[in-house]
Structure 1
Amino acid sequence: MTTKANAPVTAGSIVVPYGHVIGNEKWRGSELAQRLQGKVRLIFEDALGLVDFHLSNRTCILLISEADLVAGDEFKRRLVRFRNASSLRGIVIVEKTPISDQYYPGVQKLVVLELGMVLLPVANQGEASQLIIQLVREQSRDRGSNPFLGKQRARPAEPALLQALQHIPGVGKTKALLLLQRFGSIHRLCNADIRELEQAVGQTVAQQIYTFLHS
């Protein structure tokens, strides 16, 4: 029997206004929620099921904490249930710390190769909040962009996003900056084809990035 606690959000069940984030009630009062407050319009909802945060463009964030990784395989079952039962786009943010580092290769294999979802590693909830804020800002820019205005001025790279990109094999700080200058956002990077990546960082690293981001 499916309960509210483990039922994934299905397409169309919740409408999220642009610039807003709907957070799972379990995150109320957390460090992550406190860091999001004032930066995005955060609303809590107790019916998100498997999802931690729901963004406006059919994107859902599933956050795997250090404690989740150490505790066992329940987080894996949650990810598989979400992927099997939802047509929404899932982004997995995982806390990659000295304690949880040994579990990370298994998570990467499951999320990227088996489930075909985007995986973004962070060091703590502070970095996770910055990534969520970045994703919300990207959506707002994409929605409000005017193709007749020409190129927009490049924005300074978010430190948390730079650090997340450096977890990809072969990507150091220099290549992370090149990727952000070239693609400008997480969304565009994840949707880039191999030739576009090669133009930014070369063939070898491009293949590593593509394998990391896609099944």
Structure 2
Amino acid sequence: MTTKANFPVTAGSIVVPYGHVIGNEKWRGSEIAQRLQGKIRLIFEDGLGLVDFHLSNRTCILYISEADLVAGDEFKRRLVRFRNARSLGGIVIVERTQISDQYFLAVQKLVVLELGMVLLPVANQGEASQLITQLVREQSKDHNSNPFLRKQCSQLAEPSLFRTVQQIPGVGKTKALLLLQQFGSIHRLCNASVKELELVVGQTVAQQIYSFLCS
């Protein structure tokens, strides 16, 4: 159900009622909003600024469309402004299509390595709506039920972090799990030496990871 409600929205904080998602007014009538109807309680608000969707008081989504990627660097400035100005945890959803695929690696490095945010690729708005629904449901699960939980990561971001690590060349689900168990965060993984990585995934994959993270 899509509803309209008056909740405080300020530059530094936002109140998200339990079980709801607050969406930027610009998404009203979009495919994402239509597909979310009946799955989660979506409230539209003006004044969210750089944020597209708030999943909780401290976690939000910034959506980068195919058109954003093709249009130029404005989306990069938006991400940097968000990272510099906010204490919120940001999940970046990026449309990875045949047209935008050529830009994806650069976006991935910016989001994950330079800004330290979680990045999740989707094919379209329909897939994005499924992902948002999944994230909201994960948020409501018991804190101790997550097998990948680490103190450095929030309950919501951890499954997303797991998917992000899998995007590194040579890393699948098993190696991603091993890496997260050992290092716990993207920041520690980026600072790991080849020797430290070898102890977890072996020499060949360790070199691939190190080359990717340091290139």
> Normalised by the size of structure 2, how large is the TM-score?
0.68
CA pair 137-68 structure 1, distance change in 2 beyond 3 A: same
Moved over 2 A (4+): 8-12, 161-171, 175-180, 189-195, 201-205
**Higher RCO, Cα 8 Å, sep 6+:** 1
CA pair 164-9 structure 1, distance change in 2 beyond 3 A: farther
1:42 counterpart SS class: strand
Residue aligning to 2:127: 127
2:15 counterpart SS class: coil
Aligned residues: 184
Distance 1:137 1:167 in 2: 23
CA pair 115-164 structure 1, distance change in 2 beyond 3 A: closer
Residue aligning to 1:106: 106
Deviation string for 1:162-181 (max 9, x for gaps)?
Answer: 9987644334xxx448868x
CA pair 34-93 structure 1, distance change in 2 beyond 3 A: same
1:199-214 equivalences under 5 Å are 202-203=201-202, 204=205, 208=209
CA pair 100-131 structure 1, distance change in 2 beyond 3 A: same
CA pair 85-42 structure 1, distance change in 2 beyond 3 A: same
Distance 1:121 1:103 in 2: 12
Residue aligning to 1:43: 43
CA pair 192-69 structure 1, distance change in 2 beyond 3 A: closer
Distance 2:24 2:209 in 1: 33
CA pair 77-127 structure 1, distance change in 2 beyond 3 A: same
Aligned residues of 2:54 and 2:60 also touching (Cα < 8 A):
yes
Distance 1:95 1:24 in 2: 18
The structural deviation recorded for 1:202 is 3.5
The structural deviation recorded for 1:54 is 0.5
Provide the alpha-carbon RMSD of the alignment: 3.8
1:187-202 equivalences under 5 Å are 202=201
Name the % identity.
Answer: 71
Aligned residues of 2:112 and 2:186 also touching (Cα < 8 A):
no
Residue aligning to 2:80: 80
Residue aligning to 2:93: 93
5+ residue gaps, structure 1, are 1-7, 153-160, 184-188
Deviation string for 1:133-182 (max 9, x for gaps)?
Answer: 111111111xx55x6xxx69xxxxxxxx89987644334xxx448868xx
5+ residue gaps, structure 2, are 1-8, 147-159
> Normalised by the size of structure 1, how large is the TM-score?
0.68
Distance 1:9 1:69 in 2: 28
1:99 counterpart SS class: coil
Residue aligning to 2:17: 17
2:93 counterpart SS class: strand
Distance 2:124 2:174 in 1: 21
CA pair 37-107 structure 1, distance change in 2 beyond 3 A: same
Aligned residues of 1:10 and 1:87 also touching (Cα < 8 A):
no
Amino acid at match of 1:91: I
Amino acid at match of 1:98: Q
